[in-house]
Structure 1
Amino acid sequence: MQFQYENAYDVKERIRSKRAAILPIGAVEAHGPHLPLGTDNVLAERLAAKLAERTDSYLLPTLPYGQVWSLRSFPGSLSVSNEALVLLLCDIGESLHRQGFRVFAMVNGHLGNGTALKEAARRLAESVPELKVYHFFYPGSKDTIARVRESPPVHGAYFHACEIETSYMLYLAGELVDMDKAICDIPNIGDEADCTPTPWETFTETAVLGDATLATKEKGEAIVEASLAVMAEMVNRAKERASG
């Protein structure tokens, strides 16, 4: 159920019933020639909608801007600071708690947001300890990714507009993918990229990190559904504790 379409006369009792709010968080950035700039927003929003449905939780409006430092020089990329994200997420969390929510799940579609989400969750754990806060970025997907992928990862942590992320999009928003334009770009990302700030234009011109031509809807479904099961179990368990 979408929170923004409720009215002030009915929502109070429904919050008491649902207890949990799901916030999709994405970004606007380059995703190669075959995916839209808002890929991370679309993925976060559609994944969060499935999670809200499976846990009988409220779906909050999408937070559509993220920390895009690494790709900020690419055409179309828009970036906000970690500090801005942390402050906004803490304000949202405290406001949700004030309204009666006891579970706050942030569904992240953009790897670059991870530091801010983790910090916001820690601050909320101190300021409103009664609010259980999650920061999700495809938890429980590692084994399924290893099973279905055909191309080796180009980096230990990064995946972007590649076989994996394009498969997510084919499953969750296939109408926005142009596979005729999908490419294979295997950049050489050295160890130094993990040890010092490194803009991605130093190792890629396309913003594609891998072989997007190998993406399929079936791979995306397998990975996304595995992760959804893990997230839903956590949220449902937290809701049960909050109602006990």
Structure 2
Amino acid sequence: MIFQNENSFEVKEKILNSKVAILPIGAVEAHGPHLPLGTDNYLAERLSERVAEKTGAFVLPTLPYGQVWSLKNFPGSINISNESLISFIVDIGVSLYEQGFRVFAMINGHLGNAVAMKEAARKLYSQYPNYKILYLFYPGVKKATDEVRETVSSHTSYFHACEIETSYMLYLAEEYVDMSKAISDVPNIPMSADITPTPWEEFTSSAVLGDATLATKEKGEKIIEVAIENMIKLIEGAKDGLNKA
């Protein structure tokens, strides 16, 4: 159910019946020559729609800006601070609770948002201990990713505009991908990047962290379907927890 398409006269009963709100959270940032600036928004939106179909949840309008400090100097990137993102999420979460929602699931398309999402969830939990808050970022996909990956990851945590993320886009939002412009750029990311602020232009000029030319729709499907299945299980588990409380 698309929340912004509802009307005020009918939505209250639907909220009380569903109790679950999904907030897609993305970012606007460089994703190489073959993917759009809004890649993370498209991924978060498409994932949220798929999960909502199976859980009876409402999908909120996408929060389209994220914390992209590492890529803020690349053309097209728009960065907001963790502090701003935390405040925005908390305000949304409070409004949802007051409207009658009891499960608030954030589906994230951008790794850089993770710190703010976790902190916002803690603040909301402190205020409303019976509020089930989930921050979801492709949960439980490591095995599926390892099975389809043809190249070694550039980093233990990051994947960006590479074989993996491009495969996600080919599966979920193929119309925004131009594979004729896909490149292979495997940067040497220094160990120091994990322990001190490091703008990505220090180790990449393309914002591509791997071989995007190896991306396929089939690879994306295998990983994404695992992520969707796990997100559905986690949301359903949160709903069951409400019933037992």
Q: Same fold (TM over 0.5)?
A: yes
The residue aligned with 1:166 is 166
Q: Aligned residues: percent identity?
A: 62
Letter in 2 for 1:119: E
| Deviation of 1:50 (Å) | 0.6
Offset of 1:193 from its aligned partner? 0.3
Aligned to 2:40: 40
Q: CA deviation at 1:54?
A: 1.1
Determine the structure 1 residue equivalent to 2:127. Answer: 127
Q: Which residue number in structure 1 is paired with residue 216 of structure 2?
A: 216
How far residue 243 of structure 1 moved from its aligned partner, in angstroms, is 3.6
How far residue 129 of structure 1 moved from its aligned partner, in angstroms, is 1.4
Structure 1 segment 89-108 matched on structure 2, within 5 A:
89-108=89-108
Q: CA RMSD in A?
A: 0.7
Which residue matches 1:183?
A: 183
Partner of 2:67: 67
Name the SS of the counterpart of 1:106 in structure 2. Answer: strand
| Partner deviation per Cα, 1:180-234 (whole Å, 9 max, x = no partner) | 0000001000100001000000000000000000000011011010011111011
Structure 2 gaps, min length 5: none
Q: Following the alignment from structure 1 to structure 2, what is the Cα–Cα distance between the partners of residues 240 and 19? A: 12
SS in 2 for 1:129: coil
TM-aligned CA deviation for residue 28 of structure 1:
0.2
Kindly state the Cα deviation for residue 242 of structure 1 after the two structures are TM-superposed. 1.9
Q: In the TM superposition, what whole-angstrom CA distance separates every residue of 1:64-105 from its partner, at most 9, and x where no partner exists?
A: 000010000000000000000001101111110100001000
Q: Number of residues paired by the alignment? A: 244
Matched, 1:29 2:29: yes
Task: Name the amino acid aligned to 1:21.
Answer: A
* Cα deviation, residue 240, structure 1: 2.5
Rounded to whole Å, the distance in 2 between the matches of 1:201 and 1:85 is: 24
Q: TM-score, normalised by structure 2?
A: 0.98
| Partner Cα separation in structure 1 for residue 188 and residue 233 of structure 2 | 38
Q: Distance in 2 between matches of 1:182 and 1:142?
A: 24
Amino acid in the other structure paired with 2:9: Y
Q: Which whole-Å CA distance do the structure 2 matches of 1:145 and 1:21 have between them? A: 28
TM-score, structure 1 length as denominator?
A: 0.99
Alignment of 1:237 with 2:237, yes or no, is: yes
SS in 1 for 2:173: helix
Which residue does the alignment assign to 1:80? 80
SS at match of 1:98: helix
* Distance of 1:67 and 1:85 partners within structure 2: 7
